[in-house]
Amino acid sequence: MEAAVQQTRWLGKAWKFFEVTTSTQDEAKKWVQEGAPHGALVVAEEQIQGRGRLGRSWFSPPGKNLYFTVALQLPSSSPPPDTLSLLAGVAVAEALRSHFNAQVFVKWANDVVGSDGRKLAGILVEGFKDRSGTDWALMGIGVNVNLTEDELPDELREIATSLQILLGRQLERFQVLGAILVSLEAWWEDWAKGRLERVLKAFDALDWLKGKLVRLNLPDGTIFEGVAIGVTEKGHLRLRLSGGLERNFPVGEATVRTEE
């Protein structure tokens, strides 16, 4: 764990490690309420109530993966909060590409996927105000590192993957964490200084959905289909619907449409 936070300047310099917890999001929130500094890091070996986006759970067995949350204090004028999960996706994907030569991509809104579209990492950004009224983002990141195909539960086998499956070898988890933290620190600095265009450009270059025919399920059950054009500066997905109309979507679950 110490090695993982050695190469950053401020991110993760204050950290807590839990053998088991409900969710690193809960621990980070508690810690911020008790006075955690900007950039505080919470890591868990196992989560018994790991959370995903849209009320889903996150598969969090011990000893195999990375589960961590960084607590970030939002600057008074910052880019739209929905762009934070784009920033995290770019940071994770770039770290995995440059350090481990993993062919990974970002998938709107909050996923990192392999070239077959199976998900390797998920990002959950939750915002809240502390007692003094300061806005915080709790950026939770789960990365499947050393899971084998056999260790994936049946319901995840078609949709999830891991670095071990992609690369054909085991990785040292804290080395992966260290690489992600260094990348995240640099990307956060760009974002917080208002250089959102750099994040968007990097997202665009790694955008797995772009140009593909996508089915988008909205939380109210409505379904749209269209070709993904990219992501807007608010962090919304832009689709060209049949008939040529272009429309932005702030939230939803996107899947690539395969012929039925």
Gyration radius of the chain's alpha carbons:
18
Residue 13 and residue 39 in contact, taking contact as beta carbons nearer than 8 Å: yes
Q: Which of 38, 53, 64, 107 binds ligand BTN (CB under 6 A)?
A: 53
Using CB positions, name the residue nearest to ligand BTN: 122
- Please enumerate in sequence order all residues whose Cβ is within 8 A of that of 63, keeping only pairs 6 or more positions apart, or say none: 45, 46
Task: Examine residue 144 and tell whether it contacts ligand BTN (CB under 6 A).
Answer: no
**For residue 203, what are its two tokens?**
């997202």
Q: Is 81 helix (H, G, I), strand (E, B) or coil?
A: helix
Q: Where are any strands of DSSP class E within 33-133?
A: 40-44, 66-73, 104-107, 111-114, 119-129
Tell me how long the chain is.
Answer: 260
> Given the complex with ligand BTN, which of 59 and 191 has the nearer CB atom?
59
* Neighbouring C-beta atoms of residue 223, cutoff 10 Å: 10
| CA nearest neighbour of 183 among 15, 8, 6, 4 | 8
Q: Does 23 bind ligand BTN (CB under 6 A)?
A: yes
CB 242, min distance to ligand BTN, A:
28
**Contact pick of 52, 61, 80, 81 for ligand BTN (by CB under 6 A):** 52
Minimum CB distance to ligand BTN smaller for 21 or for 240? 21
| Minimum CB distance to ligand BTN smaller for 17 or for 198 | 17
Task: Using the minimum distance from each CB to ligand BTN, give the nearer residue, 22 or 240.
Answer: 22
Total number of residues that touch ligand BTN (CB under 6 A): 21
Binding to ligand BTN in span 60-89, by CB under 6 A: 67-69
The correct pick among 89, 140, 178, 226 for binding ligand BTN (CB under 6 A) is 140
Are the C-beta atoms of 84 and 191 separated by less than 8 Å?
A: yes
- Which residue stretch of 96-104, 117-125, 178-186, 204-212 sits at the interface with ligand BTN (rule: CB under 6 A)? 117-125
110 forms part of the interface with ligand BTN (CB under 6 A): yes
Q: Is 142 in the site for ligand BTN (CB under 6 A)?
A: yes
Smallest gap from Cβ 119 to ligand BTN, in A, equals: 7
214/108 Cα distance (integer angstroms): 11
Distance, in Å, from the CA atom of 34 to the CA atom of 256, rounded to the nearest integer, reads: 43
Q: What 3-state DSSP class applies to 189?
A: helix
Name the site residues for ligand BTN (rule: CB under 6 A). 23-25, 47, 50-53, 56, 58, 67-69, 110-111, 122-124, 140-142
